[in-house]
Amino acid sequence: MILNSTDWLIIAGYFIFSLGIGLYASRRAGQNSAEFFLSGRNMPWWLLGVSMVATTFSTDTPNLVTDIVRQKGVAGNWKWWAFLLTGMLTVFVYARLWRRSGVLTDLGFYEMRYSGKGAAFLRGFRAVYLGLLFNVMVLSMISLALVKIGTVMLNWSPLQILLVASLITLIYSTFGGLRGILLTDFFQFLLAMTGSVGAAIILIKLPEIGGLQRLIHHPDVLPKISLLPDFTSGQNVMMLFILPLAVQWWSVWYPGSEPGGGGYIAQRMLSARTEQGATNATLLFNVAHYALRPWPWILVALMSLIIFPDLASLHEAFPNADPSIVKHDLAYPAMLTLLPNGFLGLVVASLFAAFMSTASTHLNWGSSYLVHDFYQRFIRPGATEKRLVLAGRVSTVLLMLLSMGLALLLENALQAFDMLIQIGAGTGLIYILRWYWWRVNAYSEISGMIISFCIACYFEFIHPLTGLPVLAAPLKMVIGVALTTCVWLLVTFSTKPTDQQILRSFYRCVHPGGPGWRKVIRDACKENDNFRALLHEPSGIPEGIVCMVLGCLAVYSILFATGNWIYGHNRLALMLTGFSAASITGLYFSWSKLHEKIGYKR
């Protein structure tokens, strides 16, 4: 594959445009830390929603989907499709609570909700654990994907690829803050979608593929196209379908799919102008992420089974590539090398855009933790706004350098994805209940986080040395969830609850409602009659859950209808399209009822 001058002009133009946006936003970003990390809490919902989608559309995402499809078939994507339940729960239950809290980062929640040294320790530890260690791991995943793309599409060394992409990302992230990131995300998402959709359309016309119908009926592809696992295989159904839908979505913490919201999703919700804006942005994200984006990647993954049917064919096609990175996820960039010049440059630029949109978000998000929740909280409480912005820029550079180093040690996207799932296994229920059950305390989270991390380390580094049978990733996840949940519940009932004054202050600010707070409100009513009005305040939880279910049905039916239209199963596709329309109608009326019952505070 050779890029011509037109391709390079397109790539260079994209880089210059991204830098220009970052420099344009730099003056406002440097005013104060709230502007640098939350863009002044005044961003429109549609821009925030698109930014959420762009952030989760990274270079590793199509590689991951390709890896899954080649090994497990299309149904293997339930590994991440199940997280839609988490997303819709955040939309209709938690988005308004996050915006109402008014914190600068989601870690600020800890000293708002919990009390004592445990709350302070949890905030500081999570700032380093998530902002530095966990964040560097995620950044290294997407850097690894970019290395694979650059290796096969540009014939660059890993160091060359990372230096060029990271330098440009650092410039606009460091100078432009979140505002610059949101603006570039918008254009990067349009470019990335154009590249992925266009690539699927062009590649399907290759003589070796022969069009859509020949692709779907090819003997190497036909066994992989089912949207549901083979129900005659109990193990496949359990691992690929039942466990993700029954356990994974509520029990596992994963960046971008945190139960109850959190991370960079919370950062965008906190940047919204209103509670309604936070809800709308999160809904847009979930619809686009699950219903609109997957099919171009899936189609290219299916095509790769014809062009590169196994790892040996990938090795043969790219003999100069490091053998350690030639895994199934390399098939996606390998397919893109077959694109014609002109559009090839656009696709390369779109893949850089996918990397930069995700990397810039993680850099700003991780930096916000390190600066606001660690540096300002524990090291320099009296730091000026100018110093905080400077600290944010320095930590941004540090995060990028560390992630570049770790990227060279990983081998494939699915390996890193499974490891992240395992690290967060069992902690998700804490993040759901802490808003609605007063008894959850700081030590609940500390114990859950520690035990889940230890279990993940055992399965990753110790278990392979014991000689015991190899366990599948979903089974490891279930074991981690069960053990972690038992430990944090035991710790919760064995430690003192949060101070009553902190609990009352939190409830006054956020108004979560629900039966889990009745004891706190009743005790407060004995001392303060002002709390009596809150005793029967509607929580909106039942209505929110109804909206969540209808939202999931609508998105899944759109996803499956699209797939069946592509497969030529027109009757089933028509039925699913009608079902999606009915679900959307039901969601509209249920959401209106929820709004009428609880309203949205500004």
In-domain check, residue 71: yes
Give the total number of structural domains in the chain.
1
Residue 504 lies in a domain: no
Q: What is the 3-state secondary structure (H, E, C) of 496-528?
A: CCCCHHHHHHHHHHHCCCCHHHHHHHHHHHHHC
Full residue range of the structural domain in which residue 399 is found: 5-423
Residue 278 forms beta bridges with which residues? Answer: none
CA distance 485 to 490: 8
Q: Are 63 and 351 in contact (CB under 8 A)?
A: no
Contact 104, 33 (CB under 8 A): yes
Q: Residue 207 has what DSSP assignment?
A: T
State residue 416's pLDDT score: 63
Whether 53 is covered by a domain: the verdict is yes
Q: Between 385-407 and 158-203, two packed helices, what is the crossing angle to 10 degrees?
A: 80
- Confidence check: pLDDT of 602 > 50: no
Kindly state whether residue 515 falls inside one of the protein's structural domains: no
Which of the 8 DSSP states describes residue 310?
S
The pLDDT of residue 205: 94
The answer to whether residue 170 scores a pLDDT higher than 60 is yes
- Give residue-wise pLDDT tens across range 457-504: 898 889 888 888 888 777 888 899 999 999 999 999 999 999 999 999
Residue 576 within a domain: no
Residue 124 lies in a domain: yes
Span 298-346, pLDDT tens digits: 999 999 999 999 999 988 888 877 777 788 888 898 898 899 988 888 8
> Distances in Å between the alpha carbon of 88 and those of 73, 102, 246?
25, 21, 15
120, amino acid identity: A
Which band of pLDDT confidence, cut at 50, 70 and 90, is reported for residue 47? Answer: very high
- For 352-392, what is each residue's pLDDT tens digit? 888 888 888 888 888 989 999 999 999 999 889 889 888 98
How many whole angstroms from its chain centre is CA 570? 32
Please enumerate in sequence order all residues whose Cβ is within 8 A of that of 132, keeping only pairs 6 or more positions apart, or say none. 366, 369, 370, 399, 402
In a domain, 581, yes or no: no
Q: Does the pLDDT value for residue 76 go beyond 50?
A: yes
pLDDT classification of 91: cutoffs 50, 70, 90: very high
Tokens matching residue 236: 């496949």
Nearest to 93 by CA among 458, 499, 551: 551
Handedness of CA 178, 194, 17, 1 (dihedral sign): positive
Q: Which residues contact 228 (CB under 8 A, 6 or more apart)?
A: 75, 241
CA distance 451 to 481: 10
Within a domain: 395: yes
In this structure, what CATH number is given to the domain that contains residue 107?
A: 1.20.1730.10
